[in-house]
């Protein structure tokens, strides 16, 4: 079984919307690596569809996390083998991810204040 990636965010008390389901009705779970977390759910990547229902489910999960805090969204179809692989992704991209999340917050305020 593989895992579909939704987004990366900082770990906070509001990081995980309660009992959220993702693509194919699978529960969304967080994998944490040193205060960064990645949202993912189980998926059979050999039958991962690009149906409207699946894409809308993916979008709903990403938007739900984004409504709570700043995220780095993943593209639809990003797959890892297991939780250990997800932790390696976070660890190898830690510097960029921890730098990008605050930048996204600053850019949001700059953009919203322009006429």
Question: Can you give the residue range of the structural domain that contains 62?
Answer: 2-113
Question: Three-class SS of residue 45?
Answer: coil
Read off the pTM: 0.77
Rounded (5°) CA angle 31-24-38: 15
- The count of C-alpha atoms lying within 13 angstroms of the C-alpha of 82, restricted to the half-sphere facing its C-beta, is 2
Q: Give CA 99 to chain center in angstroms.
A: 16
What pLDDT is stored for residue 15 in this prediction?
Answer: 53
From first to last of its 115 residues, the chain has per-residue pLDDT tens of 799 999 988 866 555 656 789 998 999 998 888 878 889 999 887 777 778 988 999 999 999 988 888 888 888 878 898 999 888 888 876 666 555 554 443 334 444 444 4
Rounded (5°) CA angle 8-12-16: 65
Rounded-to-integer distance, Cα 113 and Cα 83, Å: 40
Rounded-to-integer distance, Cα 23 and Cα 93, Å: 25
Rounded-to-integer distance, Cα 40 and Cα 38, Å: 6
What pLDDT is stored for residue 90 in this prediction?
Answer: 82
Domain count for the chain, please give it: 1
């Amino acid at each position: 079984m593989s895992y579909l990636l939704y987004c990366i965010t900082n770990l906070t008390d509001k990081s995980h919307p309660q009992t959220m389901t993702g693509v194919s009705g699978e529960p969304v779970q967080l994998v944490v690596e040193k205060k960064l977390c990645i949202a993912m759910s189980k998926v059979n990547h050999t039958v991962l569809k690009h149906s409207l229902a699946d894409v809308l489910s993916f979008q709903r999960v990403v938007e739900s996390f984004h409504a709570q805090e700043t995220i780095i969204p993943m593209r639809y179809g990003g797959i890892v083998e297991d939780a250990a692989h997800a932790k390696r992704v976070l660890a190898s991209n830690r510097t960029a991810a921890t730098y990008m999340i605050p930048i996204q917050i600053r850019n949001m305020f700059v953009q919203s204040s322009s006429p």
